Amino acid sequence: MNMLVLEMLARGIAIGALAAMAAGFARETARAHVRFVGILFCVGVIAYALNTSPLIAPAIGPLAYPVHFLSLGGAGLFWLFIVTLFEDRPLSWPNFGPWILLTIVGFVGVVAQRPQASHVWIVHNLIEAGFAIHALYLVARSWRGDLVESRRRLRGPFLALVTLYVLSLSAFEIAESLGYFKDWFRPLGAWTLALYCVAGAFVFLQTRAELFGAAAPATPAAPAVDSGTRALLDKLNAAMDSGAWRREGLTVGDLAAEVGVPEHRLRPLINDHLGFRNFAAFVNARRIEAAKAMLSDPEQARTTVAAIAFELGFGSLGPFNRAFKEATGVTPTEFRRAPTSPNPKNPG
C-alpha cells in the first residue's frame, strides 16, 4: 500500500470522526451557541482535511471553492471553539475576529503571485500559531477557576495533545512555504490529524452534558440540599456578603480557605447549587451588580469608570469593560449614559 493510499485512508478516518463529533455537538442537551460553534469547528477541520489532499481537492469540482474558503480560517475556529467551551464566552462578532482575519490573509495568499504568495502564507501560518497558542493559554489560565469537574479533567490532556499538534503542523506548513518539502509530510500530517480527530470524537461523545453546558429546561428543578450543604452555602454567602468579592485577585482557593472547605468541595457547591460554571463569573456577578448600582447613582456621577472598576476588585479597566458588556450587553459608559432605572441595591 503506497503512501498516497495511506494518506487517503487517514483523511477518511479523520472526516468520519469529525462528522461523529459534529453529530455529538448537535445534541439537544447542549447550549445553542456551543452546538453552533462545535459544528462550525468540525466543518472547518473537515474542509481543511479535504483541501490539503492532492487527490480530493481536484475531484470535488465546484465544491473546492467553498471548501478552500472554509479551510483558510481553521485556527480562528479553533480559538472560537476554545473560548466558547472552556471560557463560557457568549457568541459575539468580536469573537469571530480571528477567523475573519485568517480568512482574509489566506485569500490574499490565494490571489497573490509568487514569490509574494509564499511570504503571505508564512504570515498566515504564524498568525495561526499565535491564535492557537493564545487559545491554549486561555485553557491553562482558567484551569483552577473551572467549576465543572469533567471539563477540569479534560484540560490537561487537551493542552498536551493540541500543543504538540499545533506546533508540528505549523512547522510543516512553514517549511512547505519556504520550499522545503518531503513526500512523507502529507501522509504523516493526515495520520496525525486522524489520530487527534478519533481521540476528540471519543472524548466529546463520551462526556456528559455538563461539559458543554446543559440547555436550561423549561422549569429547572433545584438540587436537593441537605443540612450539611445548606450550612456550607450559608458560610459561602456570608463570606461573599462580607465583601470577599471585592478583593483583587480573589481565587477559588482563597475563598475556600475563608469558608473552611477544600477547593474540591467548594467548586461543585458553586456549580451545582448556584449555577456558575467558572469562578470568575461567580465573583463578577456580584461586582457587576455593584457596578450597575454605582453607575446609576447620581452622587457618583463624577467617579470615573476606571475608579469603579478598581474599587470593585478588577485589576484593570479592560476586564471590567468585557465582563460588564457580557453581562448587560452595553459598556459601563453606555450604561451610565442611558436613562436611569431605579437604583438597584448594592450587594455589599
- Same domain as 160, residue 30: yes
Confirm whether 202 is domain-assigned: yes
Q: Where does the pLDDT of residue 186 fall: very low under 50, low under 70, confident under 90, or very high at 90 and above?
A: confident
- Same domain as 131, residue 75: yes
- Same domain as 92, residue 65: yes
- Domain residue limits at 143: 3-211
Closest C-alpha to 165, from 204, 144, 193, 133: 193
Confirm whether 314 is domain-assigned: yes
- Same domain as 207, residue 237: no
Confirm whether 346 is domain-assigned: no
The confidence score (pLDDT) of residue 105 equals 95
Q: Where does the pLDDT of residue 344 fall: very low under 50, low under 70, confident under 90, or very high at 90 and above?
A: very low
| CATH number of the domain that residue 71 is part of | 1.20.1070
- Same domain as 198, residue 252: no
Residue tagged 503571505 (cell numbers): 120
Closest C-alpha to 284, from 156, 154, 168, 142: 142
Alpha carbons within 13 angstroms on the beta-carbon side of residue 167 total 8
Q: Does the pLDDT of residue 221 top 60, yes or no? A: no
pLDDT tens by residue, 66-123: 898 999 998 899 999 999 888 888 888 889 999 999 999 999 998 988 888 888 988 9
pLDDT tens by residue, 267-295: 999 998 998 999 999 999 999 999 999 99
Q: What is the pTM of this model?
A: 0.81
The confidence score (pLDDT) of residue 76 equals 93
| CATH number of the domain that residue 323 is part of | 1.10.10.60
The confidence score (pLDDT) of residue 342 equals 47
Q: End-to-end CA distance of the chain: give it in Å, rounded.
A: 70
- Same domain as 242, residue 191: no
Query: What are the cell numbers at 59?
Result: 475531484
- Same domain as 188, residue 138: yes
Query: By mean pLDDT, which of 73-87, 146-160, 231-245, 284-298 is the weakest?
Result: 146-160
Q: Does the pLDDT of residue 240 top 80, yes or no? A: yes
- Same domain as 197, residue 53: yes
Q: Which residue has the higher pLDDT, 131 or 30?
A: 131
Confirm whether 348 is domain-assigned: no
The confidence score (pLDDT) of residue 317 equals 92
Q: How many domains does the chain have?
A: 2
Last residue of a domain, one of 162, 180, 211: 211
The confidence score (pLDDT) of residue 215 equals 55
The confidence score (pLDDT) of residue 305 equals 95
Confirm whether 217 is domain-assigned: no
pLDDT tens by residue, 296-329: 999 998 999 999 999 999 989 999 999 999 899 8
Residue tagged 504538540 (cell numbers): 164
The confidence score (pLDDT) of residue 29 equals 63
- Same domain as 239, residue 142: no
For residues 47-54, average pLDDT? 86
- Same domain as 289, residue 231: yes
Query: What are the cell numbers at 328?
Result: 448587560
Confirm whether 218 is domain-assigned: no
Query: By mean pLDDT, which of 185-194, 235-244, 274-283 is the weakest?
Result: 185-194
Last residue of a domain, one of 185, 211, 237: 211
Confirm whether 243 is domain-assigned: yes
The confidence score (pLDDT) of residue 218 equals 44
- Same domain as 135, residue 265: no
- Same domain as 179, residue 33: yes
Query: What are the cell numbers at 233?
Result: 452555602
Q: Where does the pLDDT of residue 199 fall: very low under 50, low under 70, confident under 90, or very high at 90 and above?
A: confident
Whole-number average pLDDT of the chain: 85
Q: Where are the alpha helices (DSSP H) in 112-225?
A: 116-141, 149-177, 185-206
